[in-house]
Every structure is written in structure tokens, then in C-alpha cells.
Amino acid sequence: MMSLKNINPTQTESWKNLESHFKEIKNVEMKSLFQKDKNRKENFTVAFNEFTLDYSKNRITEETLQYLYKLADESELKDAIEKYFGGERINVTENRAVLHTALRNRNNNAIKVDGKDVMPEVRKALEKMNTFSEAVINGTYKGYSGKKILDIVNIGIGGSDLGPRMVVDALQYYKNHLNTHFISNIDGDHVTEILKNLNPETTLFVIVSKTFTTQETLTNAMTVKNWFLSQEFGTKESDIKHNFVAVSTNLSNVKEFGIADENVFTMWDWVGGRYSLWSAVGLSISLAVGYGHFNSFLKGAFEMDEHFKNTPFKKNIPVVLALLSIWYNNFFKTESEVVIPFSQYLEKLPPFLQQLSMESNGKSTDRNGDSIDYQTGNIIWGNTGTNVQHAFMQLVHQGTKIIPVDFIGFEESLHGLKDHHEKLMANFYAQAEALYAGKTKDEVYLDLKFQGNVDKINQLLPFKVFEGNKPSNAILIKKLTPENLGALIAMYEHKTFVQGVIWNIYSFDQFGVELGKELAHKFLKK
Ligand code: F6P
């Protein structure tokens, strides 16, 4: 079987080098590194299209990076990337290829799974999304009573919810007149609250479930169907085909639910749930912002794919991010990473990244089937700046833990309120600076003295000191466009991939979610 190589990272020469190098560097002040290298910021910055990653505020030297790149080489990352893009069955435990990248491929080359080019089917599926979304948006597609569609309800959970929900929110600025809603939780409050204000005549329900067996989605879909068929509306079974569509690989279950064949959007087993927003799972995105923007979103992701595939590791944004993350997770033993987008539009990015990263890399068995004795997947959390500064940043600045941060900012705003954007970005830079530079006793002393707080100096001084030397990455993007959003998500997908390769785990299964599901069925029967 062609699979990723089985290499225990801790047995590599570079890992051993990193362990001894860590002892030398763990207490080094980043400030001294900046003093030694006047070009540190430029030296530790990589650019790609409208992205710039400044990773100079990390506890690394050129030597650290050399060992990390060597670790990537020793882990045969290059070979893994080729297999990933090449359609090989690298998801060994589910015997599947991993080809979400084919969904956004813009090359004319064939992408083969078991010798068969998947691209014609991909193009056909995208074309169907295009035609359907445009008909709904321009009103030629009608609900059962002949009225135009005004509301879209996505029913799905996990990858069939988090991706589309996040992107629809993130691209709100580009949105058309359709109202989009999402039902995911099995908690009946969720579906009840959403249905409360809907008119069945003008609502399109998009049931998204790759397997069409997920308890939450089927329960919610059934409740919606019963509501739709309730007597007060005078609807009948044959009306369902006008107001319900499905996205799934399980065509027989979809049919049994009552959805017409022509209303089914297919996907493939080589698209993992948490990587599926590029497929018809993204139908609510295409409905909400139009296929043109959806297409640009795919294009942006494709460009990040090309960057990831073809750029040497040193200049490769996802690779650099993954290696830094491994450095902190496995050597500094940090437990979590915080992602802070300085854009309200990206409020739902952290929960999306939680599934992407934690469902992929939360594993403790290696590719040889052995138990792992080093740390793998880290905890991802976050929220938007500046809100977080009035919430959890206290702990990041002055707490006992090292929590590496990804700050994501945009040079230009979409709204055009100059004053707001200047203040927002001043905070973006200030947070990274505060984490890096901290505030010494002397600085605090002078401050208190200046404020005339002489009596309180001794009492307050220790509480006002900021240790500093806390790591962060600054990801600066020109503007929140569909292209750049696509590239940003693809960037995190590839970061997750690189980490999984080096940790020697299978990133594309999720058996860890099964036990709870089984037990819930047992409890239900009691
Ligand atoms: O949570 C487990 C999981 O299998 C996810 O990986 C997936 O995104 C989600 O359930 C939903 O699955 P489906 O699309 O098959 O309903």
C-alpha cells in the first residue's frame, strides 16, 4: 500500500538536536535576538500573494529553524505532500485518498484516484452548484407554491456546518438578499428557534450530511420535514422536492428521506468532513454570496495549494507555521494555541479551526499502530480582537502559561471607516508588541512615579510587571476578499497536514468521536 512513511519523529537526528538546542534557547530573550540581528524582522518574514507572515517574534534562531527544516526532511514531508496531492490513499485507516485540493484545482492536469481522473466529476458538480445557486438567487427557482426563495437553512453538523457557517459569516460583506440560517445541534431549541420565523413557501432547506446517517442532522431534518408538512401549511409530500435539497454521498438514504434525485448534490469519499466546504457542502456559501465569489474562494485556496506544493520549506507559510507549532508543543510543552483574527467577520474562524486541527491531530496512536509517547494535537481556541483584550488576554499576557498566538489582520477594511480601522490595527500591533517586549520593573517604576503614585510604588510594582518574551505570529493580509479567505483556510489545512506528517499520525480519520455516539444510542434505548 502506498502510504505515508512511518517515521517516529523522536528518533530522528534533528529531534535530538532540537532537544539539546532547546536547553540553550529556552530562556533566551527575543529582545536580545532582535539586538543581535538588525534584520530579524525581514529575515523572519515570508510573503505570498496578498499575505505576509511575520514570525520574528518567536523564540527561535536561525539554528532552530535549520533543525526544524531538517525535521521536515527527515519526516519525508516532501514525499508526503506529493502523495497528498497525488490522490494516493494516505487516509490508510479508512482506505481513502485525501483530495479536497482537487475541488479547487485550476490546472488542466488529471488528478487520479486508482487510475481514474476525478476532475471531470468535480467540474460537473461545481457546474451544478453554479446553475442551481444562480437560479435560486435570481428567483427563477421557485418554492412549492411558486414563490421565490428568500431563506436558506443549512442542516448539518461538524464539517457539514462549521465550514459553511464560518464562510457565510466571513463573507457577509459580499452577501446577497437571501437570509442564511444554520441548524446543527440536536438540542430542539436550536431547530425551534430557527423555524419560528420561517415561511415554508419561501424557504429552501439544504440537508448536508456526507454519510446521511448522523443522528443530529437526521433528527433535525425530520423535525423540519414534519413542520413543513404540518396541516396549517396545507403542504403535501410532493412539495418536498421544491423546498428540500441534499448534499451527500449516501444517495439511497437521501432518496428514502424523500428528496428528488435532481436535488441531490454529490460529493466523494475522498473529501473528509472537516475539509468539505470546497465541495457541494459549501452550497449555502454559493447561495449566500453567489457562485462567482464561491469560485474566487476556491481560486484563493488553489493558489495557497500551489504555494504549499512548490515553495521551499523556508519560504513556505503553512510549513513554517506547522514547524513553529511543533517547536512550542513538543519542546516548550505548550498545550494550546490561540488564534485572534482582528476582524469581526472572522468570529467563527476559531471554532472551525478547532474541528480542523483537533479532529485531525488529536491522536495517540502512530502510523505503526503503536502508542505515542510525545505530544500531538494542540488545543486551539480564540476569538476576535479587540474583544479578546477585554476577556482572556490577561492570562496570555500575565498568566503562567506560554500560549503562542496567531494574530490575523487586514491592511484595508471593507467598511471604509478609517478611524475604526486605524484603531483596530493599532491594537493588532500593540498586542504582539506587548507580548514580546513586556514591561520591566524599571519601566513600571518610572510609570508609577510619573503618575505621582510614589506611595504605592512598592505595593503595586510586582503586579504591573509584564514578563514579555511571549511568542506570536502576525499574519497580515491585504483585504478580506473571497480569494484571501480561501487561501487563509487552505493555509491552516496544510499546517494541520504538516503537523500530522511529522507527528507520524493519521490525520484524516476521526474514530475518537465514535464511542460517544455509540453510548448515546445505548442510553437512548434504556
Ligand atoms: O464529528 C464526526 C463527524 O464525522 C465529522 O467528521 C463530520 O464533519 C460530522 O461528523 C458530520 O458528518 P456527516 O456530514 O456525515 O453528517
Q: What is the pLDDT of residues 203-228, one digit of tens each?
A: 999 999 999 999 999 999 999 999 99
Choose which residue among 160, 217, 278 to substitute to test ligand 1 binding: the one with the highest number of ligand atoms within 8 A of its C-beta: 160
For 147-303, where are the E strands, in sequence order?
Answer: 151-155, 179-183, 203-208, 244-248, 264-266
Q: Based on the number of CB atoms within 10 Å of its own CB, is 150 exposed (0-12), middle (13-18) or buried (19 or more)?
A: middle
- Of these residues, 16, 124, 479, 517, which one is catalytic? 517
pLDDT one-digit tens code per residue, 275-299: 999 999 999 999 999 999 999 999 9
Q: Is the pLDDT of residue 357 over 60?
A: yes
Closest CA to 505 of 308, 302, 326: 326
Bridge-partner residues for 315, per DSSP?
Answer: none
Q: Is the pLDDT of residue 271 over 90?
A: yes
Bridge-partner residues for 265, per DSSP?
Answer: 247
Residue nearest to atom 8 of ligand 1 (CA): 159
Strand 116-117 and strand 336-341: the pairing is unpaired
pLDDT (mean) for 507-514: 97
Q: H helices then E strands: how many in the chain?
A: 22, 13
For 173-303, where are the E strands, in sequence order?
Answer: 179-183, 203-208, 244-248, 264-266
User: What's the one-letter identity of residue 274?
Assistant: R
pLDDT one-digit tens code per residue, 17-43: 999 999 999 999 999 999 999 999 999
The x, y and z cell numbers of residue 331, run together, are 519542546
pLDDT one-digit tens code per residue, 104-160: 999 989 999 989 999 999 999 999 999 999 999 999 999 999 999 999 999 999 999
Round to whole Å and give the CA distance between 274 and 188: 24
| Buried-state track 352-379, b at ≥16 Cβ within 10 A, e below 16 | bbbbbbbbbbbbeebbeeeebeeebbbe
Cα of 53 vs its chain's centroid, Å: 17
Confidence at residue 1, expressed as pLDDT on a 0 to 100 scale? 47
Closest CA to 337 of 468, 473, 436: 473
Ligand 1 atom closest to the CA of 274, numbered from 1? 8
Asked if 471 contacts 477 with a C-beta cutoff of 8 angstroms, the reply is: no
C-alpha 161 – ligand 1 centre gap (Å): 9
Ligand 1 atom closest to the CA of 208, numbered from 1? 14
Round to whole Å and give the CA distance between 297 and 348: 17
Place of cell 479547487: 104
pLDDT (mean) for 366-388: 97
C-alpha 110 – ligand 1 centre gap (Å): 28
Choose which residue among 211, 212, 355, 496 to substitute to test ligand 1 binding: the one with the highest number of ligand atoms within 8 A of its C-beta: 211
The x, y and z cell numbers of residue 495, run together, are 499546517
Q: Which is more confident, 93 or 2?
A: 93
C-alpha 300 – ligand 1 centre gap (Å): 25
Round to whole Å and give the CA distance between 509 and 511: 6
Identify the band that residue 250 occupies on the pLDDT scale cut at 50, 70 and 90: very high
Confidence at residue 155, expressed as pLDDT on a 0 to 100 scale? 98
Write out residues with Cβ below 6 Å of ligand 1: 157-160, 209-211, 214, 217, 273-274, 359, 510, 513
Q: Which is more confident, 1 or 450?
A: 450
C-alpha 30 – ligand 1 centre gap (Å): 42
Residue nearest to atom 9 of ligand 1 (CA): 158
Long-range interactions of 120-126: CB distance < 8 A, separation 24+: 121/268, 125/265, 125/266, 125/267, 125/279, 125/280, 126/295, 126/298
- Of these residues, 50, 216, 337, 359, which one is catalytic? 359
pLDDT (mean) for 156-181: 98
C-alpha 347 – ligand 1 centre gap (Å): 22
Q: Is the pLDDT of residue 70 over 50?
A: yes
Q: Is the pLDDT of residue 454 over 90?
A: no
The verdict on whether 21 is a catalytic residue reads no
Confidence at residue 458, expressed as pLDDT on a 0 to 100 scale? 84
- Of these residues, 390, 418, 522, 525, which one is catalytic? 390
The CA-based angle 407-412-415, given to 5 degrees, is 110
The verdict on whether 518 is a catalytic residue reads no
The verdict on whether 390 is a catalytic residue reads yes
DSSP string, 301-312: HHHHHHHHHHS-
C-alpha 160 – ligand 1 centre gap (Å): 7
Ligand 1 atom closest to the CA of 281, numbered from 1? 14
Q: What SS3 class is residue 139?
A: coil
Round to whole Å and give the CA distance between 217 and 271: 19
Residue nearest to atom 3 of ligand 1 (CA): 158
Residue nearest to atom 10 of ligand 1 (CA): 158
pLDDT one-digit tens code per residue, 88-108: 999 999 999 999 999 999 998
Confidence at residue 452, expressed as pLDDT on a 0 to 100 scale? 85
DSSP 27: T
Tell me the angle at which helices 291-310 and 119-138 cross, rounded to the nearest 10 degrees.
Answer: 150
> Average pLDDT of the chain?
97
The CB density around residue 45, as the number of other CB atoms within 10 Å, is 15
Residue nearest to atom 16 of ligand 1 (CA): 209
C-alpha 182 – ligand 1 centre gap (Å): 15
In this predicted structure, which of 401-405, 421-425, 452-456 has the lowest mean pLDDT?
452-456
C-alpha 103 – ligand 1 centre gap (Å): 19
Ligand 1 atom closest to the CA of 156, numbered from 1? 16
Confidence at residue 511, expressed as pLDDT on a 0 to 100 scale? 97
Ligand 1 atom closest to the CA of 359, numbered from 1? 6
Confidence at residue 505, expressed as pLDDT on a 0 to 100 scale? 98
Strand 51-54 and strand 45-48: the pairing is antiparallel
Confidence at residue 2, expressed as pLDDT on a 0 to 100 scale? 58
Confidence at residue 523, expressed as pLDDT on a 0 to 100 scale? 94
Confidence at residue 453, expressed as pLDDT on a 0 to 100 scale? 76
Confidence at residue 450, expressed as pLDDT on a 0 to 100 scale? 87
Choose which residue among 353, 354, 510, 518 to substitute to test ligand 1 binding: the one with the highest number of ligand atoms within 8 A of its C-beta: 510
